[in-house]
Structure 1
Amino acid sequence: MTRTICLNADIGELPGQNGRAMDRAILDVVSRCNIACGGHAGDETSMSQTLKAAKARNVIAGAHPSYPDQENFGRVSMSMSSEDLKDTLRQQVRTFLSIARDIGAPVEHLKPHGALYNDAARDAGLASIVAAVAREARLKVLVGPPDSELSRAAAEFRLSYLPEGFADRRYQVDGSLMPRSEAGAVLSDIKDQISQVMEFVDNGSVQVATGERVQLKVRTICLHGDTPGAIQSALTLRAALHAHDIEIETPAL
């Protein structure tokens, strides 16, 4: 029996036509994408071009807002009032959705980026802000880590939740991502990435930094589109999944 998995990618993050070319290449592989909304990367031009590319390939698009910090690519936690954070996320998402409407590109989900993703996974208040912004924008789905404050906020705000795992990131024993600042946090070897993805798909678990296996049931796997060799890694991973009779598609929510 053929199994399925959703692959998603964070895109619209690299500048210029080289960035858009990389986006188009990875959109040929994935079934969902998360497009930078200007907080950590991207502008109206990149949003428009990336949404058009996703629409042309029937890839479901989502908003990918973040702390307003392009200097650090949204990877540093910021201390902001609840209202200020909600305002910046709301503005990022509104700009993105306005462009999507002009293009006629459907947008279904929201996935926070970087430090906000990790912070909201642990902090119920931040998770509620993210979920509230999604709900206000009439987005139906929130994407984030399994069994997290984001998953609980999604239930509170009556949103569907898509639990996510990463192909190229090492996990800690509590199920959280190992900080990028630590050695070994990023899996650069495609064989290691394939092994981790197959562990997710076959067993609903992942081998963490200590060598233990931790249960993490995910329904989508994220591929980063801004890392060296990302396109070749994505193609190799797709081939490995197909070799195991695993099709790439978006689950019904």
Structure 2
Amino acid sequence: MHNKIKIDINADLGEGMSNDAQIMPLISSCNIACGGHVGNEMTILKSLKLAKKHNVKVGAHPSFPDKDNFGRALITMTKKELTRSIYEQIMLFYNCCDQLKMKMHHVKLHGALYNYAAKDAPTADAVVEAILETGERPVLYVPPNSVLAEKAKNLLPIKYEAFIDRAYNEDLSLVSRKENGALIQNKKIALNQLLNIVIDQSVNTVIGVEVSLKASTFCIHGDQKNAVEILKFIIDDLPQNNIIVS
């Protein structure tokens, strides 16, 4: 009997979509919007209670403070302003966890902040400094080979993340949502991408070139209309590939 491969599947929740209750039992960790792009104390507590019911690890999902663009546009702020905003979002989340006697497991950035901190040093520094300022040491979910991973690795526990439902460029950046094919909505293609990364440690990029990619947590977007269907399909298939979600 081969050893089973353990993976974490995470989803972005608490973003006002109607499928959170269907997604939560299918994942092992969740990233809960904490006021930057969407969300407030009430929505965070609701998501936390749902996670507690299904024994799912919980993480803060901070963003640029930009509700108008759902955190998906790059906005200009000073490093100090950005650090403060991220700190406040994480503390709001942490205080909600505290109310329910739950532990904040991780931090995972959202949208444009995730993509920009992957390549911009001052932005990555702002993120790491904001987390350290909370006095907590949550795991930081980071893209492999990113500036953020480099900045965080000696200061915080990190976990490399890959995406189940997003297409990749050759430099391992995500294909822009403005491009065709950026989102993977076909459940078979999503499963193949996941298996490829888990088993072969590589990903087939948008131009058809295989690139090395190692990760241990895998994200699906809660605002993706096929999220539940994709997750159910994947979870049914994983045991025959000796993979368990935990």
Q: What's the TM-score bracket when you normalise by the shorter of the two chains? A: over 0.9
Q: Please give the alpha-carbon distance, in whole angstroms, between the structure 1 residues aligned to 2:103 and 2:26.
A: 19
Structure 1 ranges of 4+ moved more than 2 A: none
- Structure 1 residues 174-230: Cα deviation after superposition (integer angstroms, max 9, x where no partner): 111111001111111111101100100111110001110000101111011111121
Q: Please give the alpha-carbon distance, in whole angstroms, between the structure 2 residues aligned to 1:155 and 1:228.
A: 34
Counterpart selection for 2:231 from 231, 234, 237: 234
2:35 touches 2:89 (CA, 8 Å); kept in 1? yes
2:123 aligned with 1:121: no
1:146 touches 1:163 (CA, 8 Å); kept in 2? yes
Q: Which residue of 2 aligns with 1:203?
A: 200
Among all aligned residue pairs of Structure 1 and Structure 2, give the percentage whose two residues are the same amino acid.
Answer: 38
1:61 touches 1:106 (CA, 8 Å); kept in 2? yes
Q: Please give the alpha-carbon distance, in whole angstroms, between the structure 2 residues aligned to 1:224 and 1:71.
A: 19
Q: Please give the alpha-carbon distance, in whole angstroms, between the structure 2 residues aligned to 1:224 and 1:139.
A: 25
Tell me, what secondary structure is at the counterpart of 1:177?
coil
2:44 aligned with 1:47: yes
Structure 2 length-normalised TM: 0.96
Q: Which residue of 2 aligns with 1:244?
A: 241
Structure 1 length-normalised TM: 0.93
Q: Please give the alpha-carbon distance, in whole angstroms, between the structure 1 residues aligned to 2:131 and 2:81.
A: 16
Q: How far did 1:152 drift?
A: 0.8
* Structure 2 segments unaligned to the other structure (5+ residues): none
Q: Please give the alpha-carbon distance, in whole angstroms, between the structure 2 residues aligned to 1:75 and 1:177.
A: 13
2:28 aligned with 1:26: no
Q: Tell me which moved more, 126-135 or 167-176.
A: 126-135
Counterpart selection for 2:68 from 50, 55, 71: 71
2:137 touches 2:157 (CA, 8 Å); kept in 1? no
Aligned length: 243
Q: How far did 1:167 drift?
A: 0.6
2:221 touches 2:227 (CA, 8 Å); kept in 1? yes
Q: How far did 1:86 drift?
A: 1.0
Q: Which residue of 1 aligns with 2:183?
A: 186
2:62 touches 2:89 (CA, 8 Å); kept in 1? yes
- Structure 1 residues 99-138: Cα deviation after superposition (integer angstroms, max 9, x where no partner): 1101111112111100000000001111111111122221
Q: Match of 1:101, as an amino acid?
A: D
1:134 touches 1:142 (CA, 8 Å); kept in 2? no
Q: How far did 1:26 drift?
A: 1.1
Q: Which residue of 2 aligns with 1:130?
A: 127
CA RMSD of aligned residues (A): 1.1
Q: Tell me which moved more, 237-246 or 76-85.
A: 237-246
Q: Please give the alpha-carbon distance, in whole angstroms, between the structure 1 residues aligned to 2:64 and 2:168.
A: 23
Q: Which residue of 2 aligns with 1:12?
A: 14
Tell me, what secondary structure is at the counterpart of 1:240?
helix
* Structure 1 segments unaligned to the other structure (5+ residues): none
- Structure 1 residues 37-85: Cα deviation after superposition (integer angstroms, max 9, x where no partner): 0111112111001011111222110000000111111000011001111
Tell me, what secondary structure is at the counterpart of 1:105?
coil
Q: Match of 2:153, as an amino acid?
A: A
Q: Which residue of 2 aligns with 1:142?
A: 140
Tell me, what secondary structure is at the counterpart of 2:153?
helix
Tell me, what secondary structure is at the counterpart of 1:8?
strand
Tell me, what secondary structure is at the counterpart of 2:215?
coil
